[in-house]
Amino acid sequence: SCELESYSLEIFNRWGTKVFESNQQKRAWDGTNNGRKLKDGVYFYVLRYKGLNEKIQIKKGSVLLSR
């Protein structure tokens, strides 16, 4: 909901393989990789963003995919 100069979201599986990447703030991950539904489990994210006149922020964490 705020204007950003830059944005990057990466999602990784537990083995460190990147399963999703986006540079568009409004493009959300839908739990798929190349059109295939991924298995339930824990996935890890790295979010990088920079607001206007701010320093780059990096947030890391995990998300549980459950259908």
Both tokens of 25, joined, read: 């703030």
- Separation in Å, CA 26 to CA 4, 14, 15, 39: 12, 25, 27, 24
Residue-wise pLDDT tens digits, 1-16:
578 899 999 999 999 9
**Which pLDDT score is estimated for 57?**
95
Which run of H or of E encompasses 7?
strand 4-12
Specify whether the CB–CB gap between 65 and 24 falls below 8 A.
no
**Which pLDDT score is estimated for 30?**
96
Residue-wise pLDDT tens digits, 40-66:
999 999 999 998 888 999 999 999 999
* Strand pairing category for 4-12 and 18-22: antiparallel
DSSP code of residue 65: E
